[in-house]
Amino acid sequence: MTKTIAYVLYPGLTALDLIGPLTVTAALDGEYESVVVARDLAALDTDAAVRLGATATFDQVTAPHVVVVPGGTAGTFAACADEELLRWLRTASAAAEVTASVCTGSLVLGAAGLLEGRRATTHWGFRHLLPKFGAVAVAERWVRDGDVLTAAGVSAGIDMALQLVRELAGEQAARLSQLVIEYDPEPPLGPIDWSEVDTAAFAPFGEAALREGLADHPELLARLTG
Amino acid sequence: MTKTIAYVLYPGLTALDLIGPLTVTAALDGEYESVVVARDLAALDTDAAVRLGATATFDQVTAPHVVVVPGGTAGTFAACADEELLRWLRTASAAAEVTASVCTGSLVLGAAGLLEGRRATTHWGFRHLLPKFGAVAVAERWVRDGDVLTAAGVSAGIDMALQLVRELAGEQAARLSQLVIEYDPEPPLGPIDWSEVDTAAFAPFGEAALREGLADHPELLARLTG
């Protein structure tokens, strides 16, 4: 039987959080099928100048083998208060072998109550929010705790998905996915120098995203900014 | 005046080829605007289980500062014979400061006559096709020859876009884009070991994609498979 890897699409997310890992797992052979699942099939705005359209609805995919929640900024905080999405996610996660996230997608897992007592990661600019959902925040590229696999910011979803493919289908399959997407990174300015990163300068941007996304949900906003 | 970075969307492309660099350049400040341009605004199928929708039409974006053509497999070969797309691309490229491609998007540049005598790259599995368009094929992560900037396969578009941001807006801007997408790669199995890659095993897949994409264009098919 085909095993479904379901990527959750919601308005305003960061497209690369979804498209990076989707492209990795889509290279898996017929045993696995990667789908994008949303409330309906309408193309939704993202946080960049592109719209994404799902290929399945929440109603159609109730027991995926893997569920992956991408992140973003304001749109993701709004998703943290989207009861329909959270309800689907709880049900899907309970049935799934692996519940995964990319970037601030882990905060959606947290809002669904799926990170209590677990080690998890997220985008570097929002890591301080993980404990608000009972999680233990760690600064790693990806973190596995039991059946929950969380990735750091945006592009970390590619590394996490290769790790997922390795776990699901073995090293040869992971090498093939890596080769298909020619993932042999050469950042022109080298790796990030974390000693130079000014997280305080990012804080106002992060807080503005929280306030925008949770404008209609003052209780959750207070919990996350308090 | 805002400078437009235009990503070309066409049916069947590889979504990551477009979304990777788009996410990098979208982090640029107000001087640059990244848009996705297509024949119309309908969401189009890609080669994975997701649809992408443009935010501008070819008619609306006639003189971008930068034009970027993503790649793919059969859909990209069909684009190589899409006269409306090629006509728009020639006009846009003539006005642009930089004409760029990701993966087999360079073959679309070639089909538009934009690679004659130029050094260029593409996905490793299709590099042998570049000389069919008068280009000199090179095996690098990205290649600049004059105002043409081509990237290797799929994920190489992220590295290329960081280089583009560095050239357009300086190192600080490139470091900020890199930080926003947390591009600090850790492929779980390390870099690709090119000595282990079996290009011959890939050839039938590549040829099938050519035949599918160019089924209605036997002359171009013969030129590329001959």
∠A223-B180-B166 over CA atoms, to 5°?
A: 160
Cα nearest neighbour of B142 on chain A? A186
Residue A120 to chain B, least CA–CA distance (Å): 16
Residue B120 β-bridge partners? B137
- Considering the entire predicted model, what is its pTM? 0.97
Residues of A in contact with B30 (CB under 8 A): none
Give pLDDT, residue B36: 98
* Cβ distance of A53 and B50 shorter than 8 Å: yes
Does the beta-carbon distance from B34 to A14 stay under 8 Å? no
Cite the active site residues of B. Answer: 103
> What local confidence, expressed as pLDDT, does residue A30 receive?
81
Chain A residues touching B155 at Cβ < 8 A: 158, 181-185
Tell whether the model's pLDDT for residue B73 goes beyond 90.
Answer: yes
Catalytic residue among A28, A100, A103, A156: A103
Q: What is the pLDDT of residue B50?
A: 97
Distances (CA, A) of B112 to A211, B35, B107, B108, B134: 47, 21, 9, 6, 11
In chain B, residues with a C-beta closer than 8 Å to the C-beta of A192 are 175, 178-179, 182-184
Instruction: List pLDDT tens digits, range B23-32.
Output: 999 999 889 9
High-pLDDT (> 90) share of chain A, %: 96
CB A48 within 8 A of CB A112: no
Kindly list the residues from chain A whose CB atom is less than 8 angstroms away from the CB atom of residue B6. Answer: none
CB B89 within 8 A of CB B108: yes
Tell me if B155 and A124 make a contact (CB, 8 A cut-off): no
Q: Output the CA torsion sign for B156, B159, B163, B168.
A: positive
Hey, are the CB atoms on B43 and A33 less than 8 Å from each other? Answer: no
Confidence of residue B226 (pLDDT cuts 50, 70, 90): confident
DSSP conformational letter for B20: H
Express each pLDDT in A65-104 by its tens digit.
999 999 999 999 999 999 999 999 999 999 999 999 999 9
Cα–Cα distance for residue pair B160/B89, rounded to 1 Å: 19
For chain B, domains (ranges, CATH) are 3-225 (3.40.50.880)
Nearest to B184 among A43, A54, A192 (CB): A192
- For A186-226, write each residue's pLDDT tens digit: 999 999 999 989 889 999 999 999 999 999 999 999 999 98
The answer on pLDDT for B162 being more than 90 is: yes
- pLDDT tens-digit readout, B129-144: 999 999 999 999 999 9
For residues B138 and B72, the answer to whether their CB atoms sit within 8 Å is: no
Residue whose structure tokens are 């608000």: A132
Q: Which residue of B has its CA nearest to A160?
A: B188
B87 to chain A nearest CA, in Å?
A: 23
Q: Shortest Cα distance from B22 to chain A (angstroms)?
A: 8
- What are the chain B neighbours of A154 within 8 Å (beta carbons)? 23, 180-183
Stated length of chain B: 226
Q: Do A50 and B53 touch (CB under 8 A)?
A: yes
Which chain B residues are closer than 8 Å to A178 by Cβ? 187, 189, 192
Q: Is A103 a catalytic residue?
A: yes
Q: How far is B57 from chain A (nearest CA, A)?
A: 12
Nearest CB to A162 within list B35, B124, B187: B187
> What digits encode the pLDDT tens for the residues B35-58?
999 999 999 999 999 999 999 999
pLDDT 10s digits, A140-196: 999 999 999 999 999 999 999 999 999 999 999 999 999 999 999 999 999 999 998
Of A55, A192, A196, the CB nearest to B49: A55
Kindly indicate the confidence band of residue A139, based on its pLDDT and cuts at 50, 70 and 90. Answer: very high
Residue A1: the pLDDT is 82
Whole-number Å distance between alpha carbons of B183 and B107: 27
Environment class of B59 (CB within 10 Å of its CB; exposed 0-12, middle 13-18, buried 19+): exposed
The beta-carbon neighbor of A154 closest among B35, B174, B181 is B181
- The residue-averaged pLDDT of B77-94 equals 98
Give how far B207 is from chain A: nearest CA, Å. 15
Backbone angles phi, psi at A14, to 5 degrees: -85, 115
Contact yes or no for B162 and A188 at CB 8 A: yes
A contact test, residue of B25, B29, B50 with most A CBs within 10 A:
B50
When pLDDT is averaged across residues B81-91 and rounded to a whole number, the result is: 98
pLDDT of residue A226: 83
pLDDT value of position B83: 97
